Amino acid sequence: MTPPAQKRQALGKGLGALIPQKKNGAGSLTEPTGEKKRGVLSVPIEEVRPNRQQPRKTFDDATLLELADSIKEHGLMQPILVRRQGAAFEIIAGERRWRACQKAGLKEIDVIVKDLAEAEVFEWALIENIQREDLNPIEEAEAYKRLLESSGVTQEQLAERVSKDRSTIANALRLLKLPDEVRRQVIAGAISMGHARALLALESPEDMVKMAREVVKKGLSVREVERLVRAAKKAAEDPKPEDDPFAHIPGGRPAVKRVTDDLIRSLGTKVRIVPSGSKGKIEIDFASPDELDRLISHLRH
């Protein structure tokens, strides 16, 4: 079994920035406020409760069963972190291991007790899940959003606290702009974070949902989705036939441009063809009375 001190050190990577620490003597650091060093305890598993602030919302049954089988054979290699809640214990980090121990039929579970304030529990749980890569992209984004709102830090400061790049935090938060249906597909693993980022380039939630369904139905790659998104945006920018003032003219805009260029060369001045439905007008510029006489003479002949 991993010694408690080693466990604390492994889990504590990045936690020192999240939980205030005090200098003690010549530059040494004390434990976080309210936390006491304690060893590993073995407690009845029914006395352990899940974390109400757990960032992770989904647990895959297949991988839980695999972990349960491993625990049956080798035992629980790492104790879970808990805090006392009356006569029971609330999980700080390790809910997946606790669930697997239940499936394995264990009557007792090894725990390390931490005395943490309410505000600190979520931060510890988030860090533990991030380090283990246990969160799906949506859960991670929601956890970042909650930390930003509750702690009042900037994205840059949060990135430092969780040992991530600021761009990673920003990209994760953008996922929260996805429609609910697309979020559910990301959570289920039907589409990847790369697919989701590509979909965010679309203007409307309806278009995102429609494209996401195509991804799932056809198994499109991220690059294929990016190409389709670019094509969709270009089509949206191009004028629709009903919006094109030259749509009623035979040959459309190209034909009008050719005629306009011919008139400019022939008359030697600016010419504009202005359509209006199936009708329109031709505008010819002149700069002086003499030029007007020249143009009239030219048109008569």
- Which of the residues are catalytic? 95
102: number of Cβ within 10 Å: 15
Pairing status of strand 80-85 against strand 88-93: antiparallel
Reported residue count of the chain is 301
CA angle 100, 101, 104 (to 5 degrees): 90
Distance between CA atoms of residues 102 and 112, nearest Å: 18
DSSP characters over 146-214 = HHHHHH---HHHHHHHTT--HHHHHHHHHGGGS-HHHHHHHHHTSS-HHHHHHHTTSSSHHHHHHHHHH
The first and second tokens of residue 239, run together, are: 């004028």
- Side chain identity, residue 141: A
